[in-house]
């Protein structure tokens, strides 16, 4: 038999903190506190199962809910010694929603429920405070009218204002008892007129109306949106908490407040909170009055003319701090507490783990370990890996004023200010002159990379969280906003249009990549600090993880950053990305545009010494750590010159005619370059390209040997779909190695492996593994091909897809496990059946995503590789995966 209702209060409860799924966070903690014999006003919780039933039964209540609620209410009446709806000794209750996770989109609270024309007078005589009683009733009618009956709060405010005007009052406090009665009548009339029915006088009816309103709010638009944004499943449902009222507004010996057991911003171990005398709870949140601090030392400039609770209510203060310490010790985490003081008596209305900044989270976790309250593994488990991003990029000063011009997707966190420019070249030019610039483009392509590198921040009007701009910016650690649909770029006139406002090139804007906000002018930033608690916690994380963490890096800068963040190797060195500097990309273009072997060879000869030097640099920096070098894999469209000027430049450089090159570029145009002539297909058709690259790798390795640098190159063949392709190309690499080892009298050890990024490769993994020393899952492309979804083009409909719950997560951010994940599993299984000691890694964007990392850990991969700036996230996620602390979908 299902229990729909759980009671609490009077030193015991039917539930406890373990029952969060059933009772919601608030309900479970109220029960827990009651069990701890803390002063919790008695009440009961209607479970989340009721919410599920309610929706399954087309918004009707389960059969015996009414009986259970009546029973629970009777218990409360006994504990409080008052009766619901009895004017002679009235019990009032609050009704609040309470989901498993905090849900700002939902109905919040109805207070003072149970008041009506009769009980209000009863309350007046009981408390001896007619004004208090009537004001409570007035507030109740407004609150209930608003959140249950759906009448806008403004309608009540208008009546109040008109009434005060009519009386010539300025302040609410000027109203006397009769004024309040009059106002109550006006409110009730307005409701009757609006709805055609009177304001419900029957407390039972009020209660069920409020319960229904809470349940209905689970499916309102704001709640749905919030759930989608925070990956909260609809099926969780909400609980409803009904609790006897206590009053912080019955006089100056009453108060209400909010307190954290530690500073949620810094993590400092010190009570942090504020309170209001003679007020109800929502007054603190609403910010109508400025609250006072709880402890003396916490005075901020804005309220140091007030006295602290420590000064004003020393006894209650003492009791409160004891309760807080007790709660923190009990819950073994920093708590966020709501309390009310009624006539000098302290009541605790809520406790929960307090939200905190990443910085505070680290400090609190480390402190709790040092205080002996939690163990390292728990400290490591508690930190949200993604929140670390906050710490890794310069952040805007939270105190600064923000003038938001437009919003986009928070594609790469951090913040930067600078003058806006509309082309990569212009960005480079100005940056070379020492100017800080923000690059604004419709979208970016690899040929913008020099400009992105030169820029301090990037804004694009198109693209999603995994667009080229987003991926590259994250890789570079540049703050970036993508998909800022409100902005229009007029490149010709060099003007940015935002909602009608014309912003010329050179204007100063600030990019807040963490929030996705484009701000006017320069906002001051604060620098990151990755030592101290951060470092401590990362080292603890390393103790628990079994997955190795590498970085995707090509340039010496990237490699150094990766190392500083703890990368244990390079998991993806994209050789074509080594050629984006202007003197190099032109040679790459010459090679791609060459229409015969000799033309390609001439370009390759120019590239060989550059690659050789690059590899030597990387070998030196990585100092014996493994480096997975992917041979050329350009989807051609990323490299083809687009303008006539660029073609002319290549023609001059290559000694070819403009017309020929233009014709060749047109020939090379592909309808779907992602599925085109790229990856190992280039190696098969133009073996001289991979030959040059193999030469560069082995010559550099040989150079490194001569300098006593040890090397561990893993040569990776991209876009393989069959064993035969890999066989052919491994042979080519082996042949080069044999010659160089012979000519230079070396014994360079290396491995040849492949990316698994096509469904065909996953399915044919056994035959491929027979030739491959390692697999590295290219989950970006595997996602694109498995789902038939272009990363560059899906932003148009991905949002619809998430709204319709077709995708629960962006599949380019978090691995889609039903299809893509199955292929990964299949490839692992079959790969190992083809070669027992197959090394397994992953080098897509998913290597930096906690949920995906959990998946990779569970599948037994050897390492993950991600962009340098996500390495700490990956280290922590890998530890949490090993500790089994990341929830699955």
Q: Which of 682, 735, 459 is nearest to 576 (CA)?
A: 682
Using CA atoms, how far apart are residues 576 and 114, in angstroms rounded to an integer? 72
Pick the closer one to a second copy by CB: 359 or 462: 462
Pick the closer one to a second copy by CB: 226 or 801: 801
Torsion angles phi and psi, residue 273, rounded to 5 = 180, 180
- Rg over alpha carbons for the chain, rounded to the nearest Å, is 33
Of 393, 468, 577, 846, the catalytic one is 468
Least distance between a second copy and beta carbon 55 (Å):
18
Using CA atoms, how far apart are residues 29 and 19, in angstroms rounded to an integer? 9
Least distance between a second copy and beta carbon 730 (Å):
13
Least distance between a second copy and beta carbon 794 (Å):
7
The answer for residues whose C-beta is within 8 angstroms of residue 824's C-beta and 6 or more apart is 756, 762, 777, 779, 782, 815, 855, 856, 859
The answer for residues whose C-beta is within 8 angstroms of residue 438's C-beta and 6 or more apart is 416, 417, 418, 419, 420, 421, 455, 456, 457, 458, 459, 509, 511
Q: What is the largest CA-CA distance in the chain?
A: 105
Pick the closer one to a second copy by CB: 499 or 708: 499
Which H or E run includes 533?
helix 533-544
Three-state DSSP state, 716? strand
Three-state DSSP state, 520? strand
Pick the closer one to a second copy by CB: 536 or 795: 795
Sheet containing strand 292-293, strands side by side = 292-293, 272-277, 255-260, 335-342, 345-353
Of 843, 846, 857, 866, the catalytic one is 843
- For the chain, how far is it from start to end, CA to CA, in angstroms? 29
Q: Using CA atoms in the order 220, 226, 227, 232, what is the torsion angle rounded to 10 degrees? A: -140
Q: Is 650 exposed, middle or buried (0-12, 13-18, 19+ CB in 10 A)?
A: buried
Using CA atoms, how far apart are residues 519 and 522, in angstroms rounded to an integer? 8
Least distance between a second copy and beta carbon 478 (Å):
22
Residue listed under structure tokens 């190309």: 729
Least distance between a second copy and beta carbon 5 (Å):
35
Least distance between a second copy and beta carbon 644 (Å):
16
Pick the closer one to a second copy by CB: 819 or 832: 819
| C-alpha 17 chain-centroid distance | 26
Count of H helices and E strands in the chain? 34, 34
Pick the closer one to a second copy by CB: 302 or 671: 671
Residue listed under structure tokens 């990024």: 757
Least distance between a second copy and beta carbon 469 (Å):
13
Which H or E run includes 403?
none
Active site residue 843: yes
Residues of this chain that interact with a second copy (CB under 8 A) are 462, 637, 667, 670-677, 681, 684-685, 719, 721-722, 724-725, 728, 757-760, 763-764, 781, 784-790, 792-794, 796-797, 800-801, 804-806, 816, 818-820, 822-823
Least distance between a second copy and beta carbon 688 (Å):
13
Pick the closer one to a second copy by CB: 564 or 800: 800
Contact 842, 864 (CB under 8 A): yes
Active site residue 468: yes
Pick the closer one to a second copy by CB: 508 or 787: 787
Query: What is the set of active-site residues?
Result: 468, 843
């Amino acid at each position: 038999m299902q229990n729909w209702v759980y009671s609490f209060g009077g030193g015991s409860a039917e539930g406890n903190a373990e029952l969060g799924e059933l009772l919601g966070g608030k309900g479970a903690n109220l029960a827990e506190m009651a069990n701890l014999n803390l002063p919790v006003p008695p009440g009961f919780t209607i479970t989340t199962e009721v919410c599920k039933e309610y929706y399954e039964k087309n918004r009707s209540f389960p059969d015996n809910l009414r009986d259970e609620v009546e029973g629970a209410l009777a218990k409360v009446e006994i504990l409080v010694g008052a009766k619901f709806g009895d004017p002679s000794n009235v019990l009032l209750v609050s009704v609040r929603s309470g989901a498993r996770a905090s849900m700002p989109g939902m109905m919040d609270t109805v207070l003072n429920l149970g008041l009506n024309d009769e009980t209000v007078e009863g309350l007046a005589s009981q408390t001896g405070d007619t004004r208090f009683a009537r004001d409570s009733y007035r507030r109740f009618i407004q609150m209930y009218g608003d959140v249950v009956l759906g009448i806008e709060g403004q309608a009540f405010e208008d009546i109040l204002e008109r009434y005060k005007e009519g009386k010539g009052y300025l302040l609410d406090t000027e109203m006397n008892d009769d004024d309040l009665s009059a106002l109550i009548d006006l409110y009730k009339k307005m409701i009757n007129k609006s709805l055609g029915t009177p304001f419900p006088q029957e407390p039972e009816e009020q209660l069920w109306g409020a319960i229904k309103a809470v349940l209905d709010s689970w499916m309102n638009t704001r709640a749905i949106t919030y759930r989608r944004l925070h990956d909260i499943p609809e099926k969780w449902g909400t609980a409803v908490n009904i609790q006897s009222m206590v009053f912080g507004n019955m006089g100056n010996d009453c108060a209400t407040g909010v307190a954290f057991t530690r500073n949620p911003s810094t993590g400092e171990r010190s009570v942090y909170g504020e309170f209001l005398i003679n007020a109800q709870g929502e007054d603190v949140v609403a910010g109508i009055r400025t609250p006072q601090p709880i402890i003396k030392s916490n005075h901020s400039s804005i309220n140091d003319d007030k006295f602290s609770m420590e000064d004003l209510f020393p006894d209650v203060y003492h009791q409160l701090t004891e309760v807080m310490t007790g709660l923190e010790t009990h819950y073994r985490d920093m708590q966020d507490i709501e309390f009310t003081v009624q006539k000098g008596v302290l009541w605790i209305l809520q406790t929960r783990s307090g939200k905190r900044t990443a910085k505070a989270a680290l400090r609190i976790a480390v402190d709790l370990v040092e205080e002996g309250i939690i163990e390292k593994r728990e400290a490591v488990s508690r930190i949200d890996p993604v929140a670390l991003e906050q710490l890794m990029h310069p952040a805007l000063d939270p105190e600064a004023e923000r003038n938001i011009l437009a919003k986009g997707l928070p594609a790469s966190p951090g913040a930067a200010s600078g003058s806006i420019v509309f082309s990569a070249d212009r960005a480079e030019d100005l940056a070379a002159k020492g100017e800080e610039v923000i690059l604004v483009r419709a979208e970016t392509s690899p040929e913008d990379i020099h400009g992105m590198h030169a820029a301090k921040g990037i804004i694009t009007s198109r693209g999603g969280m995994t667009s080229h701009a987003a991926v590259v910016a994250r890789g570079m650690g540049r703050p970036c906003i993508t998909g800022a649909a409100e902005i229009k770029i007029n490149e010709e006139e060099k003007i940015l249009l935002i909602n009608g406002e014309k912003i010329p090139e050179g204007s100063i804007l600030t990019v807040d990549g963490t929030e996705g906000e484009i701000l006017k002018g320069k906002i001051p930033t604060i620098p990151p600090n990755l030592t101290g608690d951060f470092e401590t916690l990362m080292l603890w994380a390393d103790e628990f993880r079994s997955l190795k963490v590498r970085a995707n890096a090509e340039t010496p800068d990237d490699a150094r950053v990766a190392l500083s963040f703890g990368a244990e190797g390079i998991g993806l060195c994209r050789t074509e990305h080594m050629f984006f500097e202007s003197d190099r990309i032109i040679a790459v273009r010459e090679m791609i545009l060459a229409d015969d072997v000799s033309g390609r060879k001439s370009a390759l000869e120019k590239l060989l010494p550059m690659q050789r030097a690059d590899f030597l640099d990387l070998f030196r920096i990585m100092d014996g750590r493994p480096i997975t070098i992917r041979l050329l894999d350009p989807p051609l469209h990323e490299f083809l010159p687009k303008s006539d000027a660029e073609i002319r430049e290549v023609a001059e450089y290559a000694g070819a005619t403009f017309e020929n090159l233009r014709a060749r570029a047109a020939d090379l145009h592909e309808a779907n370059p992602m599925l085109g002539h790229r990856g190992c297909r280039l190696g098969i058709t133009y073996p001289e390209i991979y030959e040059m690259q193999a030469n560069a790798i082995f010559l550099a390795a040989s150079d490194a040997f001569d300098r006593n640098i040890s090397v561990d190159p893993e040569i990776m063949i991209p876009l393989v779909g069959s064993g035969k392709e890999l066989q052919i190309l491994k042979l080519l690499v082996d042949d080069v190695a044999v010659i160089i080892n012979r000519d230079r009298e070396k014994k360079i050890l290396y491995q040849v492996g492949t990316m698994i990024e096509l469904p065909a490769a996953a399915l044919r993994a056994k035959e491929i593994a027979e030739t491959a020393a390692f697999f590295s899952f290219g989950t970006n492309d595997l996602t694109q091909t498995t789902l038939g979804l272009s990363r560059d083009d899906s932003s148009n409909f991905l949002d619809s897809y998430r709204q319709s719950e077709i995708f629960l997560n962006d599949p380019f951010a978090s691995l889609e496990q039903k299809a893509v994940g199955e292929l990964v599993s299949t490839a692992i299984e079959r790969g190992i059946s083809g070669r027992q000691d197959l090394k397994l890694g992953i080098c897509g964007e998913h290597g930096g995503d906690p949920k995906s990392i959990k998946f990779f850990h569970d599948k037994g991969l050897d390492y993950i590789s991600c962009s340098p700036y996500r390495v700490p996230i990956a280290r922590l996620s890998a530890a949490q995966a090993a500790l089994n602390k990341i929830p699955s979908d």
